[in-house]
A and B are shown apart, each in its own frame.
Chain A
Amino acid sequence: MAHAHESNTKRIWIVFGILSVITIVEVIFGIIKPASLHLTSFLGTSPLNLLFIILTLAKAYGITWAFMHMEGEKKWFRRAVVWTAVFLISYLVVLLLIEGEYLFDVMSFPLTKWNY
């Protein structure tokens, strides 16, 4: 604890401000849903969805680095936690989302009858 006696209060409030602004932006976009972002498609989903995901990751970064104080940990401890989680989660998400789209294709096949 190199920072044992100094106070980070100011920085905490700045990060809180950033997180709040991001949330407000998300809510505004979520309510307005501008057609140019909502009804178009980019990289398999709408640009609006991509915007939400990027803003969410930015918030996650803020919480992990500033609030959970990941920035203060030793480099390889940080990597042991962050890389493990990021790699496994991206792997799982990619596989399951591809599989979900495949299920949708199968279900729209006219010879298959699905009740749900």
Chain B
Amino acid sequence: MGATIAVNSEDKTTWNGGGKRPFGASYGKMMMWFFIVSDALTFSGFLAAYGLTRFKFIDSWPIADEVFTHFPFLHGVHAPMYYVALMTFILIFSSVTMVLAVDAGHQMKKKKVAWYMLFTIIGGLIFLGSQAWEWKNFIGGTYGAVQTTDGKILQFVKDGHQIALSDFVVDAHEERVQHTRKNGLWYVSGETLPSYSVNEVVNSYKNNSDVLIRTEKIDLATKQKTILSREEGARYLLNAKQVVEGANLQVNEYGNPIFADFFFFITGFHGFHVFTGVLINIIIFFNVLIGTYERRGHYEMVEKVGLYWHFVDLVWVFVFTFFYLV
């Protein structure tokens, strides 16, 4: 019956695949690489789908510089790119501390490995916090917009810059009652009402002659969104259906809802990888502290978790390019 068992399971080195090393790589490391290949295919599937959708809406896709404009403690300052660039640096730096931990592991320096692992974990946590902040800004929205009956988004500009609804809309104190469990059917509740009603926005547009409407349509010559004349804008507003503030899976004040769907899905899936990476790093960190690898005689486990961590960084490099740069 020995033929059905590839390696002797009594052997204490089974953890290493019985000490067999095809291609000079240990079983664990090789499997980590093959897992990374399959995970890379998953991510590229998402990013390729994003690319397909983007080409499908090539003349109306949201412009990243107009969507991600926040930087911590700088309120109202138009700061595109800087924040994601910072996030990229945080992740690359945590990759560096990870590779330094692996390097220290080769030299069996337990203390150094532990410190570098700790820095890596902290870097990962800062990145996760940054991503949560990015999501918060995206979900909450900045300016607010109006959605028309055919699902298009109309934004408002003044002197060439986008302005928020609160900058020009006058609250007419209309009576709008939000449907909650208390005042209607007890088992459902209505959507949260936006700050202004469609009527208030339309009337304020009529009363402010310097406010113009910007559509989703991109002018291919300048690669900027098209701005309508006053009369044309008023005509577009006749089809206004609802006021949109922020983004979720159904509506998106920055443009096409599927942009928000992809943003949530891809950065969310990546963030989930970072999260699990931090958890695995923490486990390995404690194993380093209690001397597991010192007794095992090598720090290959740090190397394996390092591969995963670098892969997460690698994915972010692509997400950064295709969501924020291209």
Contacts and interface: CB of A to CB of B under 8 A. Distances in A.
B318 A56 contact: yes
Contact of B85 (A9, A23, A59, A93): A23
A67 interface: yes
Given A53-B326, A67-B95, A9 B103 contact: yes
A39 B221 contact: yes
B82 to A, nearest CB: 7
Interface of A: 1, 3-9, 12-13, 16, 19-20, 23-24, 26-27, 29-31, 38-39, 49, 52-53, 56, 59-60, 63-64, 66-69, 73-74, 76-77, 80-81, 84-85, 88-89, 92-93, 96-97, 99-101, 103-104, 107, 115-116
Interface of B: 22-25, 30, 33-34, 36-37, 40-41, 44-45, 47-49, 51-59, 65, 80-82, 85, 88-89, 92-93, 95-96, 98-100, 102-103, 106-107, 150-151, 221-223, 256-258, 303, 306-307, 310-311, 313-314, 317-318, 320-321, 324-326
B23 A89 contact: no
A66 B44 CA distance: 22
Given A16-B93, A101-B58, 10 more contacts: A3-B106, A30-B80, A63-B317, A81-B33, A85-B40, A89-B40, A97-B51, A100-B53, A104-B58, A107-B56
A30 B81 contact: yes
Contacts of A20: 89, 92
A8 B103 contact: yes
B103 A19 contact: no
B256 A81 contact: no
Contact of A96 (B52, B80, B150, B318): B52
Given A56-B317, A85-B40, A12 B325 contact: no
Nearest to A100: B55
Contacts of B48: 89, 92-93, 96-97
Contacts of A38: 223
Closest 3 CB pairs of A and B: A100-B55, A77-B23, A100-B52
Contacts of B22: 77
Nearest to A90: B44
A28 to B, nearest CB: 9
A12 B104 CA distance: 12
Contacts of A60: 314, 317-318
A16 B99 CA distance: 11
Contacts of B47: 93
A98 to B, nearest CB: 9
Contacts of A89: 40-41, 44, 48
